[in-house]
């Protein structure tokens, strides 16, 4: 891991997290594939990693930079542990930061201790990249609402104990008519099923058949849910990039180890210019992506203009996830057939590296965000 722009404390944090991840790796490996590993989540709580995300009152504790260091350091040792921590943060940040005090009191301790599994329920069958097109309805019922519809491709569903759910409260208003709710996993009318996905963690479909939600289960303001979603993603998108950094670093290290020890053509593989140049490209793109991720995280922590944060977060996620796909794929090419044997580190990474280019806004959406920021800024300066 590069020490550029990192303080001594941040470097120490990265080392400490890596050591904890090594302890958790057997527990992560023993978990049920495609299901929530509750033992792992509780261990993350017991080691204090989840507590690093939240203060005692439920406010955000880890800054964006610390969150990135957490995710990169975990990913370099155990992608399962990294994903469990990331999903817990993504699913609970909205209601622990902007929710009603009653929701914070009910869920804070359980989430931080790893006793309650959290999930972020935004995507729908007809609203993946276009989050403003949500169709899940929140119909008025007494002093609250009832939810009708479905969510799709939700991580930790249908096993989560608590969901951040985004639903339409005002029809015909696109992004302006969406409200965020905190919904208990055992709510009446809430159902779901697992989806058989390539991902090693659970992903599922949720159905809402008149699920009741009370006024104190609103997150933020009524019709202000889209802002809650976007501010959450502004924080987590750079950290998705950090997840990609951790995977790419392992792939690069594996490729370097193999090519500098594997004898071929009267020397070692790295003596071949074609191989050496690939290693150089991998390392350069990895370091460039790391700087983009750190820059985006620093902008968030410094409280920069929200539009600037969104712009930098999009660039960090875009480049880091695309880079990781390139680095892992190139590493597999250099190592050869053994890299695809079940249980090889690169085989594992080859499966895990694909999804980050899609979730929390596909690469195409990040490019759209970046280009719109550029054109808007150009128009404002004319």
Residue 301 pairs in a beta bridge with: none
CA distance 364 to 366: 5
* C-alpha R_g of the chain: 21
Residue with tokens 């999804």: 355
Whether 360 is a known active-site residue: answer yes
* DSSP string for residues in 223-262: T-HHHHHHHHHHHHHHHHHHHHHHHHHHHHHHHHHHHTT-
Residues in the chain, total: 382
CB 189 within 8 A of CB 114: no
CB 87 within 8 A of CB 202: no
CA distance 247 to 328: 8
- β-bridge pairing 162-168 and 118-121: parallel
DSSP-derived 3-state class of residue 67: helix
Residues 6+ apart with CB under 8 A from 47: 20, 23, 24
Q: Which of 124, 217, 360, 364 is catalytic?
A: 360
Report, as residue numbers or ranges, the catalytic residues. 360
């Amino acid at each position: 891991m590069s020490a550029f722009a990192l303080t001594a404390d941040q470097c120490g944090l990265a080392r400490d997290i890596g050591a904890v991840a090594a302890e958790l790796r057997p527990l992560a490996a023993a978990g049920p594939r495609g299901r929530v590993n509750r033992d792992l989540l509780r261990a993350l709580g017991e080691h204090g990693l989840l507590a690093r995300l939240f203060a005692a009152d439920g406010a955000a504790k880890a800054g964006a930079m610390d969150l990135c260091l957490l995710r990169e350091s975990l990913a370099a040792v155990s992608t399962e542990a990294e994903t469990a921590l990331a999903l817990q943060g993504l699913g609970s940040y909205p209601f622990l930061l902007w929710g009603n005090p009653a929701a914070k009191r009910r869920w804070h301790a359980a989430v931080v201790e790893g006793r309650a599994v959290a999930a972020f329920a935004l995507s729908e069958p007809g609203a993946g990249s276009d989050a403003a097109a949500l169709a899940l309805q929140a119909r008025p019922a007494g002093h609250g609402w009832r939810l009708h519809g479905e969510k799709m491709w939700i991580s930790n569903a249908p096993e989560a104990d608590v969901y951040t759910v985004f639903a339409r409260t005002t029809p015909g208003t696109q992004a302006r008519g969406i409200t965020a709710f905190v919904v208990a996993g055992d709510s009446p009318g809430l159902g779901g099923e697992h989806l058989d996905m390539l991902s090693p963690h659970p992903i599922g479909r949720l159905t809402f058949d008149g699920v009741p939600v009370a006024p104190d289960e609103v997150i933020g303001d009524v019709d202000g849910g889209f802002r809650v979603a976007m501010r959450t993603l502004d924080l987590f998108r750079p950290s998705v990039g950090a997840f990609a950094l951790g995977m790419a670093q392992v792939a690069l290290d594996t490729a370097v180890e193999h090519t500098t020890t594997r004898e071929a053509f009267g020397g070692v593989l790295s003596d071949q210019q074609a191989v050496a140049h690939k290693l150089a490209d991998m390392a350069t793109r990895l370091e460039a992506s790391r700087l983009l991720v750190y820059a985006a995280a620093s902008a968030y922590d410094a409280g920069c203009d929200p539009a600037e944060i969104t712009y930098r977060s999009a660039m960090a996620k875009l480049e880091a996830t695309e880079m990781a796909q390139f680095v892992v794929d190139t590493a597999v090419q250099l190592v050869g057939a053994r890299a695809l044997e079940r249980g090889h580190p690169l085989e594992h990474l080859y499966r895990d590296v694909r999804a980050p280019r899609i979730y929390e806004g596909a690469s195409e959406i990040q490019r759209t965000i970046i280009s719109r920021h550029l054109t808007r800024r150009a128009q404002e300066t004319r």
